[in-house]
Amino acid sequence: MKVGPKLIFLFKDPNGVGPAIFAALQPNTNNLQPKQTSAPFELSLDKYGIRDFRASGDLLHFIDYQVLLMENYEPPVVSCAINQVLQSIIEENSSSSMMPTLVLPFLVQASTFHNWDKNDSAAVQQLAYSLRTLGLLDPLPRVLKFPTVLLIGPMHPPQRGDEYLEDAHTESFAGLEDQLQPINCSSNGFRSVF
């Protein structure tokens, strides 16, 4: 899988955060922006003994960065799928002297942190999913020596009365593209941005 200097790594999570970021980063057709191309990908997991699943998703190409949106998998398939995608990136970029910087957004509802209630099963489930995904993504880029930026932050629902907009996540992430320009991680290690 050929990628550029920056790769935003997302999942089609049950809360819709990954797809919302993916949608928010696609250019507005009303503006004159560089043309992007989107391509689905599918990688075999046979070498892990997994025949029922494939590492699949969509890869959105821009001039300065790419956005990878993977399908949602359960352990242990998710570890194998992540590893296969990262190995594919290494193989395709072996001629380049520099590995791409992985950008890993880790976003959780603000209320999960501020009004923590262990009896709220939805909040507990969302936090558990987010931490599990982060736990799986943490060691693999380190072992494979990918420079990695971990973006950690709260998500806030829209403040328009009691109605919840379907595109609330998209509105929350509309400015993320501007934040990608200053990211430059030249060493092989994690950098967190809060």
Cα dihedral value 12, 143, 135, 91, nearest 10: 10
> pLDDT value at position 142?
79
The confidence score (pLDDT) of residue 132 equals 67
Task: Enter the DSSP assignment of 140.
Answer: H
Q: Is the pLDDT of residue 32 over 50?
A: no
Section 63-87 average pLDDT: 90
In the predicted structure, residue 54 carries a pLDDT above the cut 80:
yes
Residue 69, in any domain of the structure: yes
At 187 the three-state DSSP class reads: coil
Q: Which residues of 46-79 are buried (b: 16+ CB within 10 A; e: fewer)?
A: eebebeebbbebbbbbbeebbbbbbbebeeebbb
Rank 16-20, 28-32, 67-71, 171-175 by mean pLDDT and report only the highest.
67-71
Is the residue at 78 inside a domain? yes
Provide the 8-state DSSP code for 55. Answer: E
Q: CA–CA distance from 166 to each of 27, 170, 171 (Å)? A: 19, 9, 10
pLDDT in tens, 97-142: 778 899 888 776 666 555 555 566 666 666 666 666 666 666 788 7
Local confidence band at 163 (pLDDT 50, 70, 90 cut-offs): very low
Q: Which two tokens stand for residue 170?
A: 């998209």
Judge contact between 7 and 70, C-beta under 8 A.
Answer: no
Alpha helices in the chain (DSSP H): 17-24, 77-92, 110-114, 121-137, 139-143, 168-173, 176-180
Mean pLDDT of 34-52: 86
In a domain, 30, yes or no: yes
Predicted confidence (pLDDT) at residue 66 exceeds the cutoff of 70: yes
- 88-105: burial string, b at 16+ Cβ within 10 Å, e else: bbeeebeeeeebbbbbbb
Domain count of the fold of the chain: 1
Domain range for 19: 6-193
**pLDDT score for 109:** 64
For residue 81, the model assigns a pLDDT of 93
Task: With respect to residue 47, please indicate whether it lies within any of the assigned structural domains.
Answer: yes
pLDDT tens per residue across span 88-106: 999 987 777 778 899 888 7
Alpha-carbon distances of 98 from 5, 87, 151, 188, rounded to whole Å: 8, 15, 21, 10
% of the chain exceeding 90 in pLDDT: 20
1 belongs to a structural domain: no
